[in-house]
Structure 1
């Protein structure tokens, strides 16, 4: 992921140094578990723990060796063996590369999900606070892009909050699904080490052992994680698209706090953060597709998934984290133009109250189909003439045969749309 969309602490999680440290953590856990089990000397385990370390020089040396031998983990092990000396022969004892890499990757993904969960909880608090702030802020609701009936801006925010709560649940489920390690060896038979060793190592690392594996942990787990991120991104995009639409000049009900808009048009204030979030959501969906393709590996494993995961997993986490952080800032600073919302409620000259009139007519005995056609005709007349819908209703004898002027007036009272708002919240 480019630096522009990389923020701490997620950025540090996916650095090269962090990856080497996770590899080392798994190797050391394996060494200590083997010593506890009695497979290698305790003194050797202590020597290894005391002598290995990760520095920039170690990383550079490992990369130099990788260029020579073409294998990143093997190069890393050779550098560790150089540090340790004779006891280094017990490093990676009975293990294959994927025992280390897949277990370390699970650790990284688990930590990444914990970062996202914490960030999402903060966003939920911001949305909740602003939803309560605007619980009774009336605005027009739109279906198919057309004015429908009044809602409140707080209700719109609450809808987003409810969806993000489901995203939170999905992230937590994904954290559980990915928190598995494996030390089952080259093809999953535990030929070199027994399942007990795997259990000891995973316990040390806060993971659970995979009940069955081949050379790798099955990639449906990783796809589940990226599916959760893609759904989170889609939810954030839904919010972003709505903010962008409500920021249109013709609507102008909300505005991002943006210091600058256009380089050539000084008057413009563009919803660029929301637009960026919309763009990054596309990346998350594309990465999910790649993760799904990774599931069908050959036989007990091939390496076709590896190159893909080096890109899609860090990028998806970095993008998701960036989107959550930026959306929190957008919602926190969002400018709500309540006066413009009120003005927009009146753009249809009262047509948005047609259902209220319809229900009153039905309650008074008019057939629903008859009432619907009658009101539709009056609505068309109001549009063509530019007159207020209420005025036409008050003049129409067919309407007044069922409803009094007071009852007609009641149908246009916007407070009607607030009567259940406390229960919804």
Structure 2
């Protein structure tokens, strides 16, 4: 945990105890299926259930024994059967018909469901906070930057609306992924042979019953070497990390003192430096970025493993999934929670945003000026002069004077030419459909609770 800042938010989400408990849950679920098929009694189920609490087990010897079998299911079963009583009917019924991969894959899907529930909840909180920012700051002028340089005027509301759409899209994908997490039930080679022997003609029914007992989706068929469920889960978590990382990156950049447009919410002890007492680091956004940087590589590892899943049971490729999947399941919920905290209390410095807009000068509306100039009376001569002035960083007064030469006083009475020039140079008059984009994002968010995707 020392090297995973924020993991204390949910310290047992994906640790050894959580994995062990999830495996026990699968075994109990399978006993219940057997009871529904008439293969064991409810008393047998009750016996196993009474011994299926991970907190009652010493996990140290289990951990030590994992290497011998290559996976944690084997020592888990030994510990469970020993706790129940090895020669009892209940102990005999535990796990029969299944294989280790059935149990661990299903257990990981259970853990994934719990992880996604947190992701969905925290993305919702982040989105609601962002919706408030978008609405509140729909008229707050901001420099839009492309390739790191000032480009055009926009509003902070429009920027936040972009964040909102991304968060709502990620939440919708995570919700769909949570509903689709499948059970694994195939037996030793994916043919359900042992299950069919136990309950002739009811093997598929048994697999579906296990999904029902565990609250997972029916798989249709075993996926021992078709690792689509894992890679799709990984892809959703990576895309979520992408959305979180982009927003966090914007906040980090905009909180630089030379811009001073945003600040993370202040909290006792947060954002300090070990040597520089004056610093207020955007530490939560930095941690979110760190998760987003790592996530694609974890997802890539899942795809590499999927491509190498040989024969009917993988020889190492399955094992290679565990650590990257655990990394995603543990880090993305934390990142979503951290960003939700940031967005809920984000300090928006509208005065600094306006200062930076003014500092960009007429170049910020260069696109508009160069489009309008050819229509002015002396546009043909003015165009080259204007381009040269903008390249040289001319200020508002100089550009105003250039434009004034193309608008003689008699072009319109009562000072209208001056007002027209003021309008041409006004960043607030060249915002496109920024306000409408805010409305769209807010409408989508309000209508579905998640918003639409671009």
In structure 1, what is the Cα distance between the partners aligned to 2:50 and 2:355? Answer: 72
Match of 2:7 in 1: 6
Change (3 A) 1:81 1:400: farther
In structure 2, what is the Cα distance between the partners aligned to 1:400 and 1:299? Answer: 86
Which runs of 5 or more residues in structure 1 are unaligned? none
Change (3 A) 1:175 1:76: same
> Could you list the per-position Cα deviations for residues 57-80 of structure 1 after superposition, in whole angstroms to 9, with x for gaps in the alignment?
443454465577665322221222
Match of 1:335 in 2: 347
TM-score by length of 2: 0.83
Contact 2:143 2:150 in 1 (8 A): yes
RMSD value over aligned CA atoms?
Answer: 3.0
Q: C-alpha displacement at 1:331, in angstroms?
A: 2.1
RCO higher in structure (CA 8 A, sep ≥6): 2
Match of 2:442 in 1: none
Q: How many residues align?
A: 420
In structure 2, what is the Cα distance between the partners aligned to 1:163 and 1:236? Answer: 9
* 1:118 is the counterpart of 2:121: yes
Contact 1:349 1:387 in 2 (8 A): no
Change (3 A) 1:159 1:260: closer
* 1:391 is the counterpart of 2:401: yes
- Which runs of structure 2 are paired with 1:96-111 in the superposition (5 Å)? 96-111=99-114
Equivalent residue of 1:13, what SS? coil
TM-score by length of 1: 0.88
**2:246 alignment partner, one of 224, 238, 242:** 238
Change (3 A) 1:188 1:54: same
Match of 2:33 in 1: 33
In structure 2, what is the Cα distance between the partners aligned to 1:205 and 1:370? Answer: 76
**1:182 alignment partner, one of 181, 184, 192:** 184
Match of 1:267 in 2: 278
* 1:208 is the counterpart of 2:217: yes
In structure 2, what is the Cα distance between the partners aligned to 1:254 and 1:211? Answer: 50
In structure 2, what is the Cα distance between the partners aligned to 1:299 and 1:67? Answer: 22
Q: C-alpha displacement at 1:244, in angstroms?
A: 2.0
> Could you list the per-position Cα deviations for residues 344-390 of structure 1 after superposition, in whole angstroms to 9, with x for gaps in the alignment?
112233232333334444566888x8875453134246x26895321
**2:138 alignment partner, one of 135, 138, 149:** 135
* 1:156 is the counterpart of 2:159: yes
- Which runs of structure 2 are paired with 1:357-396 in the superposition (5 Å)? 357-361=369-373, 373=384, 375-380=386-391, 383=393, 388-396=398-406
In structure 2, what is the Cα distance between the partners aligned to 1:353 and 1:71? Answer: 62
Equivalent residue of 1:349, what SS? helix
**1:195 alignment partner, one of 204, 216, 237:** 204
In structure 2, what is the Cα distance between the partners aligned to 1:101 and 1:138? Answer: 53
- Which runs of structure 2 are paired with 1:306-317 in the superposition (5 Å)? 306-317=318-329
Equivalent residue of 1:210, what SS? coil
Which runs of 5 or more residues in structure 2 are unaligned? 196-202, 440-454
**2:419 alignment partner, one of 388, 406, 417:** 406
In structure 1, what is the Cα distance between the partners aligned to 2:40 and 2:145? Answer: 70
Q: C-alpha displacement at 1:211, in angstroms?
A: 1.7
In structure 2, what is the Cα distance between the partners aligned to 1:395 and 1:71? Answer: 81
Equivalent residue of 2:177, what SS? helix
In structure 2, what is the Cα distance between the partners aligned to 1:390 and 1:372? Answer: 14
> Could you list the per-position Cα deviations for residues 42-101 of structure 1 after superposition, in whole angstroms to 9, with x for gaps in the alignment?
543343334554334443454465577665322221222223231211111111111111
Change (3 A) 1:313 1:69: closer
Equivalent residue of 2:144, what SS? strand
Change (3 A) 1:43 1:330: closer
Segment drifting more, 384-393 vs 347-356: 384-393
Equivalent residue of 1:342, what SS? helix
Segment drifting more, 407-416 vs 180-189: 407-416
Equivalent residue of 2:341, what SS? helix
In structure 1, what is the Cα distance between the partners aligned to 2:111 and 2:127? Answer: 24
Change (3 A) 1:65 1:379: closer
**1:295 alignment partner, one of 298, 302, 306:** 306
Change (3 A) 1:261 1:206: closer
